[in-house]
Amino acid sequence: MIAAAGLGIAFNAKPAVRAAADSAVSQPYLDSVLYLMGISREDVEEADR
């Protein structure tokens, strides 16, 4: 399934999933995934308003 995605990101995943993904995030927050998608902190803060 992750291979079929346009951008496969393994989030706190096990080694096999990380190996199949384009990118891996091993931290408790998804902020870095937004950055990979081209969404800045300013964009997020503006959307919260």
Count the residues in the chain: 49
pLDDT number for residue 23: 86
Would you state the structure tokens that stand for residue 17, as one six-digit string?
């999933």
**pLDDT at residue 3 is higher than 80:** no
Task: Give strand pairing partners of 24.
Answer: 10
**What confidence tens digit (pLDDT) does each residue in 15-45 have?**
999 999 988 999 888 888 888 789 998 998 9
**Do residues 29 and 43 lie in contact, with contact meaning Cβ atoms separated by under 8 Å?**
no
pLDDT number for residue 14: 96
The domain ranges of the chain are 2-48
**pLDDT at residue 7 is higher than 90:** no
The alpha helices in 1-49, defined as continuous H runs, are 15-20, 31-36, 41-48
